[in-house]
Amino acid sequence: MKLVYWMYLGPAHIGTLRIVSSFKNMHALMHAPLGDDYFNVMRSMLERERDFTPVTVSTVDRHVLARGSQEKVFSNLVRKEREEEPSLLVLTPTCTSSILQEDLQNFIERAMLTSSSTILLADVNHYRINELQALDKTLEQIVRHFCNKTTVPEAILTTEPSVNIIGPTTLGFHNTHDIQELKRILQSLKIKVNCILPEGASANQLTDLPQAWVNIVPYREVGLMTAEYLKKEWGTPYISETPMGLIGMGKWLTRLQETLNQISNRPQFNFSSFIRKQTFFVSQAAWFSRSIDCQNLTGKRAVVFGDATHAVALTKILTQEMGIYVACCGTYCTHDKDWFMEQVQGLCDEVLITMDHAQVYDMIVRLEPAAIFGTQMERHIGKKLNIPCGVISAPVHIQNFPLGYRPFFGYEGANQIADLVYNSFTLGMEDHLLEMFGGHDTISTKENIQDKDGEFNWDSKALSELQQIPGFVRKKVRTNTEKYAKLKGFTTITIDVLYEAKENASSIS
CA 145/CA 226 separation, integer angstroms: 11
- Say whether residue 433 binds other proteins (CB under 8 A): no
Nearer to other proteins, 353 or 377 (CB): 377
CA 255/CA 240 separation, integer angstroms: 9
- Say whether residue 437 binds other proteins (CB under 8 A): no
Count the Cβ atoms, other than its own, within 10 Å of residue 49: 15
Count the Cβ atoms, other than its own, within 10 Å of residue 242: 22
Strand-by-strand arrangement of the 389-391 sheet: 348-353, 325-331, 301-306, 371-374, 389-391
Extract the annotated binding site for substrate. 428-429
CA 376/CA 474 separation, integer angstroms: 30
Which residues pair with residue 93 across a beta bridge?
Answer: 31
Nearer to other proteins, 42 or 182 (CB): 42
- Say whether residue 50 binds other proteins (CB under 8 A): yes
DSSP letter, residue 394 = S
- For residue 420, report the phi and psi dihedrals to the nearest 5 degrees: -60, -45
Beta-carbon contacts of 226 under 8 Å, excluding residues fewer than 6 positions away, are: 136, 139, 140, 143, 166, 197, 215, 217
Q: According to CB under 8 A, which one of 22, 23, 65, 209 is a site residue for other proteins?
A: 65
Q: Which of 293, 349, 362, 496 is catalytic?
A: 293
- Say whether residue 42 binds other proteins (CB under 8 A): yes
Extract the annotated binding site for [4Fe-4S] cluster. 36
Any catalytic annotation for residue 496?
no
Q: According to CB under 8 A, which one of 17, 23, 26, 36 is a site residue for other proteins?
A: 36
- Say whether residue 177 binds other proteins (CB under 8 A): no
Binding map of other proteins across residues 261-290, x = CB under 8 A, - = no contact? ------------------------------
Q: According to CB under 8 A, which one of 67, 113, 116, 127 is a site residue for other proteins?
A: 127
Least CB distance to other proteins at residue 442 (A): 28
Nearer to other proteins, 128 or 266 (CB): 128
Dihedral, CA atoms, 321, 323, 328, 330, nearest 10 degrees? -10
CA 306/CA 331 separation, integer angstroms: 5
- Say whether residue 94 binds other proteins (CB under 8 A): yes
Nearer to other proteins, 57 or 297 (CB): 57
Q: According to CB under 8 A, which one of 60, 73, 312, 485 is a site residue for other proteins?
A: 60
Q: According to CB under 8 A, which one of 68, 71, 82, 83 is a site residue for other proteins?
A: 83
Q: According to CB under 8 A, which one of 16, 61, 90, 231 is a site residue for other proteins?
A: 61
- Say whether residue 95 binds other proteins (CB under 8 A): yes
Longest Cα–Cα distance of the chain, Å, equals 95
Of 12, 10, 235, 37, nearest to 141 by C-alpha is 12
- Say whether residue 53 binds other proteins (CB under 8 A): yes
Dihedral, CA atoms, 275, 281, 286, 289, nearest 10 degrees? 170
The H-or-E segment that residue 458 falls in is strand 457-458
Span 397-416, contacts to other proteins by CB under 8 A: 397
Q: According to CB under 8 A, which one of 67, 128, 440, 452 is a site residue for other proteins?
A: 128
Least CB distance to other proteins at residue 128 (A): 7
The separation between the first and the last C-alpha atoms of the chain, rounded to the nearest angstrom, is: 49
C-alpha angle 52-55-61 in degrees, rounded to nearest 5? 125
Count the Cβ atoms, other than its own, within 10 Å of residue 266: 5
Nearer to other proteins, 150 or 506 (CB): 506
Catalytic residue IDs: 293
Q: Residue numbers of the site for other proteins (CB under 8 A)?
A: 1-7, 10-11, 13-14, 32-38, 40-42, 44-45, 48-53, 56-57, 59-62, 65, 76, 83-84, 94-96, 99-100, 126-128, 130, 377, 380, 383, 397, 465, 468-469, 495-496, 499, 502-506, 508-509
